[in-house]
Amino acid sequence: KVAIVGISVDQPNDSTLWKTTIRKYNLTWLNVNDSKSLLVQKMAIVNYPTKILIDKNKKIVLVDTDNSYETFYQEIEKLINSK
């Protein structure tokens, strides 16, 4: 099972744009707004977008900030195939 969570750091006054974007691009996964950057600080995120893969044991297996996507998708495939 793979779950996606989108975390936005948009400020509350930008929430209309954020919500419109979610609808426009049919982002059906869980999307949360972290306008106070509590999650961002806790996870030490400094680049956007940052993609984090967490395995079924809640272990972080990859933090991707370079937007290459190749490694990210390879790791997703490994997680899916390691049932």
- Please tell me the predicted confidence (pLDDT) of residue 73: 83
| pTM, full prediction | 0.68
Give percent helix, percent strand, percent coil of the chain, each to the nearest 5: 35, 20, 45
Quote the CA–CA distance of 34 and 8 in Å, as a whole number: 6
Strands 30-33 and 5-8: parallel
pLDDT tens-digit profile of 31-40? 999 989 999 8
Place of tokens 């997680």: 79
Nearest to 68 by CA among 53, 44, 43, 50: 50
- Please tell me the predicted confidence (pLDDT) of residue 43: 86
pLDDT tens-digit profile of 41-76? 998 888 888 888 888 888 888 888 877 778 888 888
